[in-house]
Structure formats: C-alpha cells, structure tokens
C-alpha cells in the first residue's frame, strides 16, 4: 500500500473544546470559531480532491459528541477546477 498517494481524501469537521477543527487525512488544517467557516475550508478541501480525481468523504462530530458521515460538500463555484 502506498501512503504517499492516497486514493481517498477524508475530511473531518469536529467540535473540540470551543472551536470547529478541520482535518485532512487526520492532519489539522484549521480551527474556526464558526461552523460556517469550517465548512468553507471543507469545500476548499473537496475542491482539491476533485482536482486530483480522488474519492472524498467527510465525517462530522457535532457538539453533542455524535458522529455522522456525509458526502463531501460541493466546492464553491470559484473553487471548482475547470
């Protein structure tokens, strides 16, 4: 198995302590006070996955501690590769 070139991108958006944390393949890429800002970063990461033709999935950990799996968010129009 080649870990240098993963075939799937995992996006994790999780409420931790007092902020929304965004991780790409278990590596933190940002922490945000507002969920909307964390989702903007998730859209950016989804755009990167689309550009690399990689599979993408997203896990969300809500404030109550529950986990949900979601399809990756649609990239913002300006983030979509041409």
pLDDT for 7-37, tens place per residue?
789 999 999 989 999 999 999 999 999 999 9
Question: Residue 2 falls within a domain, yes or no?
Answer: no
Question: Does any domain span residue 79?
Answer: no
Q: Is 13 buried (19+), middle (13-18) or exposed (0-12) by CB count in 10 A?
A: buried
| Res. 2: pLDDT tops 60 | no
Predicted model pTM: 0.81
What is residue 12's predicted lDDT score, i.e. its pLDDT? 96
Per-residue pLDDT of 25-77, as tens digits, reads 999 999 999 999 999 999 999 999 888 888 899 999 999 999 999 888 887 66
> Looking at the 3D structure of the chain, how many domains does it have?
1
**What is the model's pLDDT at position 54?**
87
- Residue 46 in any domain: the answer is yes
Residue 72 bridge partners (DSSP): none
CB count in 10 Å sphere of residue 49:
20
Q: φ and ψ at 22, to 5 degrees?
A: -115, 130
Residue 1: inside a domain, yes or no?
A: no
Buried b (16+ CB within 10 A) or exposed e, 28-45: eebbbeebeebbbbbbbb
Q: Is residue 81 part of a domain?
A: no
* Unique residue bearing structure tokens 């198995």: 1
The reply to whether 14 falls in a domain is: yes
Quick check: is 21 in a domain? yes
Domain assignment of residue 70, given as a range: 8-74
- Coil, strand or helix: which one is 79? helix
Within a domain: residue 60? yes
């Amino acid at each position: 198995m080649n870990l240098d070139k993963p075939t799937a991108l995992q996006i994790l958006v999780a409420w931790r302590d007092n902020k929304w944390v965004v991780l790409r393949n278990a590596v933190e890429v940002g922490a945000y006070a507002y969920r909307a800002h964390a989702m903007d970063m998730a859209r950016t990461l989804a755009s990167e996955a689309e550009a690399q033709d990689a599979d993408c999935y997203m896990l969300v950990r809500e404030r109550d501690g529950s986990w949900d799996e979601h399809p990756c968010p649609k990239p913002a129009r300006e983030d979509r590769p041409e």
